[in-house]
Structure 1
Amino acid sequence: MTAEGQREPQVVVVGSANVDRTVRVDGFPRPGETVMGSELATTPGGKGLNQAVAAARMGAAVAFVGAVGDDRDGALLRDRLRAEGIVDHTVTVPVATGAASIVVDASGENTIVVSPGANHAIPTDHLDAVADLIGGAAVVLTQLETDLDVVARVLALASGTGVLTPAPVQNLPAGFLADVDLLTLNEVELATLSGQPDVAGVEGAMAAAATLDVATVVVTLGAAGAVVVTGDDRWHLPAPAVEVVDTTGAGDTFCGVLAAVLARGDDIEMAARTAVTAGALSVTRAGAQEAMPTADRVTVVHSPGQSPLAGPSSSATLLAWESRSTPPDA
């Protein structure tokens, strides 16, 4: 149910909500080494909540389903949902709110350790209570920071496009991907799920993605952009060159924007191109949600006469992007 004046959700995200505790360092410590870092920053995060925020900033009507603890961290996450205009379907459970410890080095790369907490305690009856919400959404997003049985139930309930981000990656039970319409993953996750020895680069990613039994697979390649494999069609979508500040949340930005563009009725080509641009923009600022762009900052221009799903077409597409000095409103 939505409040009076709110739009019915087009995108429903079921998944994790964490509080990110981030410190910046010159270089990652070696085993047994202690290094000095920046002041600790505490911000809302979690793959599920990140994806929901990214979709909402692209203009989609979004609902979030998850779990938080009855603690200060849980209140912080609910405040972020409210501030972003996301319909809040979180449930409070007697477990501490999930948290992530993030270290970012001088090049913008990161290491992340997640303590799942409440994210692993989403009650089954809560999913039953929101079954109509999930079933009525144009796009449903989920990840692997919650229990696998929760993810499987969500994908089974989805009647729109069911999207899975298999992160943190793990070996999945046989048949787990049967209800997945669109799989979005990076090269490390692709290597694990495909069992392929070499998924590096555009051609390697395309070949490995084609082995997965999912209708559409989108592989993010960092600075190289992304590849899309759907049926017999496969193509490469390059990313604009940017100055990297922090890669935290770039993949979640990609997934949320992809979902928002699909939900408004655009095809997978347009959705993926827009997501590549948004992901590139997100790494030009520090933080995850703090760096996610709004729709007015992301423009994808198609060359006249270009045919969607026509294969690799980097020269036929212009990616226009803008990096402003002020972050989007939180």
Structure 2
Amino acid sequence: MKREGENMKISVVGSINMDMTVTAEKIPKKGETITGRELYYIPGGKGANQAVAMARLGANVEMFGCVGDDGNGALLIENLKAQGVKTEHIKTVEHTPTGVAFITVGERDNTIVIVAGANNRVDRAYIGHIEHELKKSDMVLLQHEIPLESIEYVIDLCYRNQIPVILNPAPARSLKQNLIEKVTYLTPNEHEARILFGAVDRDELLRRYPEKLIITLGSKGVCTCRKSGEILTIPARPGNVIDTTGAGDTLNGAFCVKIAEGANIEEALQFANAAAGLSTEKLGAQEGMPVREEVTNALRV
């Protein structure tokens, strides 16, 4: 870390979406039509969500990504600014729609379909344009909702410049082994871990990447392996679950904030798990994200 103890700059390179969220009594099965309750238009995208999660926790965060030249794009940039996220280098792409996610919330769970839109324009050319700004970062957070070649380029750039990288590999896709070695932390859920590594025993897999691989377990919490070889599991915080959308993004953002502040991995995961639990008690990814005081109070209980 370059400036441990100071207000470190965290950069997020990733997706910016408008979430169209419908609530229903249940999630429909294949071929089934059901009646929804309400429809909401909520700012989202894994990258933007994680940036907002960190800003709400008091971090110094800049978002890098692309939106379309439409109403959604303008609204999403204004929302990020309002949440305290720096947006100066977000690109507005002409003749391209802003990314959209279609989310169904029911049965205390959700399903999501994403149309990438302008997120596909977070390409090598765009990364080249913002490269000098990324080099000013003390930590970089990435996800899989932008082109893979851009993710690879940013990881290589940060590795060469000794900038820690957290990669949240969602949605899951194959990764080159050398990229896994270059990232500082890799944070899949159980499903994503199986796609990345195959049918490997979870504890064996964690021990392969001590204090690098962090697997989120949904309602069961989150786990990693200490450098001593001990498996560390932080149980989920009990709560009144309303919407799990964005819980993983909250966890990643909160973990990133605490690591940037110099916390050890157990302290960071406890903080992140509490933040993720709080985020499920409200509807919407960003709307449910807690502020610092809420997380601190939850950890005291």
Measured in 1, the distance between the counterparts of 2:279 and 2:123 equals 33
Q: 1 CA distance for matches of 2:84 and 2:232? A: 35
Q: Which residue of 2 aligns with 1:314?
A: none
Q: Which residue of 2 aligns with 1:304?
A: none
CA displacement at 1:39 relative to structure 2: 2.2
The structural deviation recorded for 1:175 is 2.7
Check whether the contact 1:277–1:298 (CA below 8 A) recurs between aligned residues.
yes
Query: CA–CA distance in 1 between the matches of 2:79 and 2:274?
Result: 24
Aligned 1:63-142 pairs, distance under 5 A: 63-88=62-87, 89-94=89-94, 95-105=96-106, 107-142=107-142
Aligned to 1:257: 254
In the alignment, what sits opposite 1:310?
none
Cα distance in 2, alignment partners of residues 300 and 236 from structure 1: 21
Letter in 2 for 1:99: V
Q: How does 1:1-330 map to 2 (within 5 A)?
A: 10-88=9-87, 89-94=89-94, 95-105=96-106, 107-158=107-158, 159-196=162-199, 204-211=201-208, 216-233=212-229, 234-299=231-296, 319-320=299-300
Post-superposition Cα deviations, 1:172-198, rounded to whole Å, max 9, x if no partner, equal: 24433232110011110111112125x
For 1:165, give the aligned amino acid: N
- The Cα of 1:97 is off from its aligned counterpart by 0.6
**What SS is found at the alignment partner of 2:186?**
strand
CA shift for structure 1 position 92 = 1.3
Conserved in 1, the CA contact under 8 Å of 2:189 and 2:215?
yes
RMSD: 1.9
Whole-angstrom CA distance in 1 between matches of 2:151 and 2:143: 7
| Residue 305 of structure 1: aligned partner | none
TM normalised by structure 1 equals 0.83
2:155 & 2:242 partners in 1: Cα distance?
A: 35
Tell me if structure 2 keeps the 8 A contact 1:10–1:138. Answer: yes
- String of CA shifts for 1:69-91, please: whole Å, max 9, x gaps: 00001011101111011111211
TM-score in terms of structure 2 length: 0.90
CA–CA distance in 1 between the matches of 2:35 and 2:103? 14
| Structure 2: gaps spanning 5 or more residues | 1-5
1:52 partner SS: helix
After the TM superposition, which parts of structure 1 deviate over 4 Å for at least 4 consecutive aligned residues? none
Q: Sequence identity of aligned pairs in percent?
A: 38
Question: Post-superposition shift, 1:215?
Answer: 5.6
Whether the aligned pair in 1 keeps the contact of 2:18 and 2:98 (CA below 8 Å) is: yes
Given that 1:273 and 1:300 are in contact with CA atoms closer than 8 Å, whether structure 2 keeps it comes out as no
Higher relative contact order (CA 8 A, sep 6+): 2
Per the TM alignment, residue 206 of structure 1 is displaced from its structure 2 partner at its CA by 2.8
Native 8 Å contact 1:274 1:300 kept in 2 = no
SS state at 1:22 partner = strand
Amino acid at match of 1:255: N
The aligned counterpart of 1:307 is none
SS in 2 for 1:23: strand
CA offset at residue 255 of structure 1? 0.3
| Aligned-partner residue type, residue 155 of structure 1 | I
Post-superposition shift, 1:9?
5.8
Structure 2 residue matching 1:78: 3-state secondary structure: helix
For residues 125 and 59 of structure 2, what CA distance do their matches in structure 1 show? 27
The DSSP-based 3-state class of the residue aligned with 2:128 is helix
- Quote the Cα distance in structure 1 between the aligned partners of 2:176 and 2:155: 14
- Stretches of structure 1 that go unaligned for 5 or more consecutive residues are 1-6, 198-203, 302-318, 322-330
> How many residues in Structure 1 have an aligned counterpart in Structure 2?
290
- 1:130-184 CA-partner distances (Å, limit 9, x unpaired): 2233223222100110000110111122232101011100122443323211001
> What is the Cα deviation at residue 230 of structure 1?
4.4
| CA–CA separation in structure 1 for the residues paired with 2:213 and 2:163 | 16
